[in-house]
Structure 1
Amino acid sequence: MTPTVSIIVPIYNAEKHLARCIDSILNQEYTDFELLLVNDGSTDSCGSICDSYAEQDSRVRVIHKENTGVSDSRNQAIDRARGTYLQFLDSDDWITPDATKLFVRAAEEHCCDLVIADFYRVVGERLSQKGDIEEDSVMTREEFASHMMENPADFYYGVLWNKLYRREIVEKYRLRMDVTISWCEDFMFNLEYIRHGKAFYALHAPIYYYVKTKGSLASQGASITNTVRMKLMVFEYYNNFYKQVFDETDYEKKRLQVYRFLVDAAGDGMVPPAILPGSKKLGEEHTKVCSEAIAGEGILMEVYRNRKLLEYYLETAARKNGLTVAEASLLFCLSQPHQITTRAELADFANVSRRALSLTLQKLSARGLLKVEEIRRTDGTSRADRIPPSDPAESTADPQAFGSVSRSRRRQIRITLLPEADQIMEDLAAAQNDYDHARFKDFSEEDLVQYALLSEKMKENIQTVLERV
C-alpha cells in the first residue's frame, strides 16, 4: 500500500545519535509513512543499525551507497519515495511524537503545498524555540516570499527538516539538490520549490529538535575563492527568485530588501544563535509523566492516566498558540457546556487554586482571548459594592462564556470567549478528538456502543450520590 508520507534521513557516521532519531520517527502517532534511511558510505556501525531497524519494521527501507554527500543521498531517496508528502530529518536530530501528524493535518486541512514549522534549537541541556511567521492563515506565494524577505538568510527558511513538501510538485518540476555546492543547497531547493507552490501555511507548534552544529565552509575544505563563488551563485539565484515572484514594479520597490541577503548571509552557515531568549532546560518543554503511575492499578491511577493523556494533547494546542498547558486547560474547561457561575465553581471544575485561576484569567484576558464580566445583583449592587477591594482573592478582573446568580458573598461572573480565541478553540477541539482517538483505538462499533451505555449508567450512579452533597 502506498504510504502518505515518505520520511527521508541521510546518514553518515552518526552511530552515537542515530537510534534516537529513528526511534522518534517510528514512535510517531501518525503511522502511515515509509522511512528511507540512506547510509552514505558510513565507516562506523550506521549500516548495521539501519539494517536491524529494517528487519524489525516493514516501513523502514535502507539505501546503502558510496559516500557522495548529503545532497546526493537526499536525491536518491527522493527518486525512490512513494508518499504523497516528503519529510526530512538529519540523523543526529529528532522530532516530537506528533510531528508528522501535525504536518499532514495542516497540509490537508488548509490544502497547502508547503507547511513550515517552528523548531527547538538544542545546545547541551538547554533549548529555545525558533519561529518566524506569526500568521495563522494560508499564505500565497507572494505573501510567503515577503515574510522570507524580512529575514533572508534565516535558518527557518533555509533548511528542509522543518517543512513538509508535496512530492507531486517535486516530481513534476524535477526538483533535486544541487550536488555541486556544499553551502545553502537545501535553501536553493526551497527557493525552487516555492516558485512552483501556490499555498503555504506556518505551523506554530515546534516539532523538531535541532542539535547538529553545521561545519563552516572553511572546515569543509572550501577555499576562499570557492566560498565567495558559491555565495554569489546562491545570491544570484535568490535575486532571480524574487524577480520571478514579483512583477517588475514590486521588485524595484523591494530590491534593497533583496540585497540584504548578502549582508545576512555573510555569517557562514546560516545557523541560528546557540540559545535564543526564553530558553528552557531540555525536557521542560513537555509536561512530566510518572511512568509508575501510568502503569499502576487503582482509581487514582486511572484518573491520573486520563488527565495526563488529555494534557498531552492539549499541550500541542498550547505550543501552537503560545500558551502554557494551564492556560490551554482553562480554555478547554470554558469550552465545555456547563453553567458555572462563580470563580469558586470554576476553580473547582478546572481543579486549580483560586489564585492560579485569577492569574490565568488575567493573562488570557490581556491577550484578548476572553472577557470577564461581573454580574450585578437584582438589588442593584455589584460584588465590588459588597466586598472591599483589598480582598486579594477577589480583586482580579476576568474573561469567557459562563453566567451566574449570587451566593452570599461570592461574586457571579460571565466569561465570554472573544473572536481572537476562535482558532485556539478549533485546536482544542482537535486535541479532544485526538484524546478520544487514543482512548478508543481498536474499539469496534459494538465496543463503543457498550462503552457509551456503561458510561451513562456510571454517570447516573455518581450523580445520585453527589447530588446529596
Structure 2
Amino acid sequence: MNSQLMDLTAAPLISCLCVSRDRPNLLRRAIECFLAQSYPNKELVIVHPPRDRATAECVRAFASDQLRPVAIEMPGAALGDLRNVSMERASGEFLCVWDDDDWHGPERLALQYGAICASKKCAAILARLIIYDLNSAQAYLGYERLWENSAMFSRPRIQQLGIRYPSMNRFEDYDFVNQLIKHNLVYPVYEPTAYVYLCNGVNTSGGEHLATLIRRSSQLSPEHSEAVRCAVEFVEPPRRAHERMQSEHFKSSLCYVRSSAVPRI
C-alpha cells in the first residue's frame, strides 16, 4: 500500500529494531534507508556494546532525534538476547526488524503497516524480496516464503502471548517468526522491491544457507541487477532507486512462477 493513499496524520509510532557491532559502513546505509522512509512516526533503536565507538559515532553524525542508540554490556549474550533488548527498549506500538546489513525501500514501513491495517492481522512479513550477491553483483527474486528478516508486528500482542527471540546466534529470527505463525498472526506481503537482502560474507546465517536461498530463487538480468546495485551501494538515493525498481520495465521482468511449479491433476 502506497503511503500517498494512506492517512498517516495519526499514525502510531513504529520502532525499528537494529542490533549492530563495529559495522559503521553497513549501519550508515541502514540509517539512511530508515530516514528516507515515507512513514513519519518512527524511531530506530540501535543496540550496541558500550565500547563500540564506531557505531556510537556513526549514529551521532546523523544528529537525528529519531535515532535511539542503546549501549549495553551483555557479555556472552546471543543475538537473540540482544534482539529482545531492542524490543524492551522500544517505545512503539508496532515493532519492525531492521537489520543493518540490508537495504530497505522508502515505502517499506508504510507498506507493511498498511497491510496490517487492511488484513486485521497483528504481523506483516514479506513473502518476496530481492536478494543481491555482492561477490557476483548478481540479483535474484527471492522465492516465496516468509522472510523473517522483514517482520513487522504488534508489540502489545506479542507481549500478551509472551513471544520472544530464543537465546541463539543463528536462526533466532526464524524461530521467532514460527511463533507468530503458530498463533495465526501473520499476513504475507508481496512487494519484493521493498527489501533487498544482501549476501555480504558476514551474514549470521552462514554461506551454506545463503547458497540454498539463491539456488531456489530466480536470477535477474544484468540490467536489473545493475539497478539493484545502484540502490544498495547508494549510487542513487533510496527514493530514486525505489522508483527505478517500481517501474513497469523492472517489475514486469520478475519471474514469480517457475515452469515446473504447477503439477498435472
**TM-score when scaled to structure 1?**
0.43
Equivalent residue for 1:323? 252
Give the AA of the match of 1:167. Answer: R
Give the AA of the match of 1:107. Answer: I
Equivalent residue for 2:213? 272
What per-residue deviation string (whole Å, max 9, x for no partner) do you get for residues 324-376 of structure 1? 69xxxxxxxxxxxxxxxxxxxxxxxxxxxxxxxxxxxxxxxxxxxxxxxxxxx
Summarize the alignment of residues 278-289 of structure 1 with structure 2, pairs less than 5 Å apart.
278-281=219-222, 282-284=225-227
Any conservation in 2 of the 1:129–1:206 contact (CA below 8 Å)? no
Any conservation in 2 of the 1:119–1:207 contact (CA below 8 Å)? yes
Give the AA of the match of 1:127. Answer: A
Q: Does 1:28 align with 2:70?
A: no
Aligned residues: 228
Which of 183, 187, 200 is 1:196 aligned to? 183
Equivalent residue for 2:130? 120
More divergent stretch after superposition (64-73 vs 118-127): 64-73
More divergent stretch after superposition (206-215 vs 93-102): 206-215
Any conservation in 2 of the 1:121–1:274 contact (CA below 8 Å)? no
Summarize the alignment of residues 185-224 of structure 1 with structure 2, pairs less than 5 Å apart.
185-198=172-185, 200-211=187-198, 212-213=200-201, 214-215=203-204
What per-residue deviation string (whole Å, max 9, x for no partner) do you get for residues 54-73 of structure 1? xx211111100125332122
Alpha-carbon distance, 1:312 to partner:
3.3
Which of 51, 59, 62 is 2:66 aligned to? 59
Name stretches of at least 5 consecutive residues in structure 1 with no aligned partner.
133-155, 220-266, 289-307, 326-469
Any conservation in 2 of the 1:11–1:38 contact (CA below 8 Å)? yes
Alpha-carbon distance, 1:85 to partner:
1.6
Equivalent residue for 1:176? 164
Change in CA separation of 1:45 and 1:33 when aligned onto 2, cut-off 3 Å: same
Write the distance in 2 (CA, Å) between the matches of 1:30 and 1:191: 27
Summarize the alignment of residues 9-408 of structure 1 with structure 2, pairs less than 5 Å apart.
9-41=18-50, 43=52, 45-53=54-62, 56-66=63-73, 68-117=77-126, 118-124=128-134, 125-132=137-144, 156-157=145-146, 160-179=148-167, 181-198=168-185, 200-211=187-198, 212-213=200-201, 214-215=203-204, 272-273=213-214, 276-281=217-222, 282-284=225-227, 312=243, 315=246, 323=252
Give the AA of the match of 2:161. Answer: Y
Write the distance in 1 (CA, Å) between the matches of 2:120 and 2:142: 25
Change in CA separation of 1:45 and 1:280 when aligned onto 2, cut-off 3 Å: farther
Give the AA of the match of 2:179. Answer: E
Greater relative contact order (Cα 8 A, min sep 6): structure 1 or 2? 2
What per-residue deviation string (whole Å, max 9, x for no partner) do you get for residues 210-232 of structure 1? 11443567x9xxxxxxxxxxxxx
Alpha-carbon distance, 1:121 to partner:
1.0
In percent, how many aligned pairs have the same letter? 17
Equivalent residue for 1:362? none
Indicate the SS of the match to 1:273: helix
Alpha-carbon distance, 1:172 to partner:
0.7
Write the distance in 1 (CA, Å) between the matches of 2:28 and 2:39: 19
What per-residue deviation string (whole Å, max 9, x for no partner) do you get for residues 273-328 of structure 1? 2794332444425999xxxxxxxxxxxxxxxxxxx99x939927887xx5369xxx
Write the distance in 1 (CA, Å) between the matches of 2:80 and 2:25: 22
Where is the helix percentage greater, Structure 1 or Structure 2?
1
Any conservation in 2 of the 1:37–1:62 contact (CA below 8 Å)? yes
Name stretches of at least 5 consecutive residues in structure 2 with no aligned partner.
1-9, 232-238, 255-265
Any conservation in 1 of the 2:132–2:228 contact (CA below 8 Å)? no
Any conservation in 2 of the 1:40–1:69 contact (CA below 8 Å)? no
Give the AA of the match of 1:193. Answer: L
Where is the strand percentage greater, Structure 1 or Structure 2?
2
Write the distance in 2 (CA, Å) between the matches of 1:69 and 1:316: 41
Change in CA separation of 1:29 and 1:172 when aligned onto 2, cut-off 3 Å: same
Write the distance in 2 (CA, Å) between the matches of 1:195 and 1:10: 25
Change in CA separation of 1:210 and 1:286 when aligned onto 2, cut-off 3 Å: closer
What per-residue deviation string (whole Å, max 9, x for no partner) do you get for residues 176-214 of structure 1? 1111x3332211111222222345233233311211443
Write the distance in 1 (CA, Å) between the matches of 2:247 and 2:229: 10
Write the distance in 2 (CA, Å) between the matches of 1:129 and 1:34: 29
Alpha-carbon distance, 1:97 to partner:
1.2
Any conservation in 2 of the 1:6–1:81 contact (CA below 8 Å)? yes
Q: Quick check: which has more Rg, 1 or 2?
A: 1
